[in-house]
Amino acid sequence: MATLRLGDTAPNFTAQSSIGELNLHEYLGDSWGILFSHPADFTPVCTTELGTTAKYKPEFDKRNVKMIALSVDGVQSHKEWIKDINETQQTEVNFPIIADEDRNVSTLYDMIHPKADNSLTVRSVFIIAPDKTIKLILTYPASTGRNFKELLRVIDSLQLTAYHKVATPANWEQGDDVVVSPAIATEDAKKIFTKGVTEIKPYLRMTPQPNL
C-alpha cells in the first residue's frame, strides 16, 4: 500500500478491541480522533503513555477528540495490561486499545518499519478530522515516549485554523497571537480581524487569536 499522506482519507477498518468490536469511522462519528500505536503490551514506556492518555481524557473530551490506542497483542493481553496501567499510573484507562495480532491495521497505516523492527509497531500518531482526513502524522522510535501536551497543542491549532484564515507560529499555545493567512491582503485582513492586525513584513502579519 502507498504511504499515507496528510489530506488522505484515514483507511477504515473493523477490529477487536478492549471494549469489543470497533469500526474506526463509526466509532469516531463526528469527532476528531487520535490513533496511536504501541510496540507491545507490558512495555514500560507504553504503560506511562497510556496512563497519561487516560489522565488527559477530560482535555481531549473538551476538544471533541476520541483516543484510540493499538498494539499487536490480543484482547485478553490488553485487558491484563490495563490492570497494570491503572495500578502503576493511578488512573483508569477510559479509551479502547485495538488488538492487532494479524498486523492488518499496522500494515494499513504503515506502523511497522522493518529497519526498526520486523514485527513491532513504531510509535505512530495519526490525527483524524471529523471528515476522516488525516491532519497530522508523527512517527517516534520505540524508545521515545510521546508528549501529550504537544498533541493537545496541535489539536488546538488544527481546530483553530480549520475555521479561521490564520496559521499558528512556532511554539504557539492557546491564547497567543496568530499569523494572518498570506492569501489575505492586509487591508482585507484588517476588516476580517477586528482585534487588530500588526504588519511586521508584508508577508508576516499577526493578529490576536480570533476565537477568544
pTM: 0.92
Can you list the domains of the chain with their CATH numbers? 14-146 (3.40.30.10), 164-207 (3.30.1020.10)
CB 42 within 8 A of CB 35: no
Catalytic residues: 46
C-alpha to C-alpha distance for 151 and 103, rounded to whole angstroms: 25
Segment 148-196, tens digit of pLDDT: 999 999 999 999 999 999 999 999 999 999 999 999 999 999 999 999 9
Segment 55-102, tens digit of pLDDT: 999 999 999 999 999 998 999 999 999 999 999 999 999 999 999 998
**Residues whose CB is less than 8 angstroms from the CB of residue 17 and which lie 6 or more positions away in sequence, other chains included:** 68, 75, 78, 96, 97, 98, 99
Which sign does the torsion angle of CA 13, 46, 154, 55 carry? positive
What Cα–Cα distance (Å) separates residue 141 from each residue in 37, 91, 115, 129? 11, 25, 11, 25
Segment 185-212, tens digit of pLDDT: 999 999 999 999 999 999 999 999 999 9
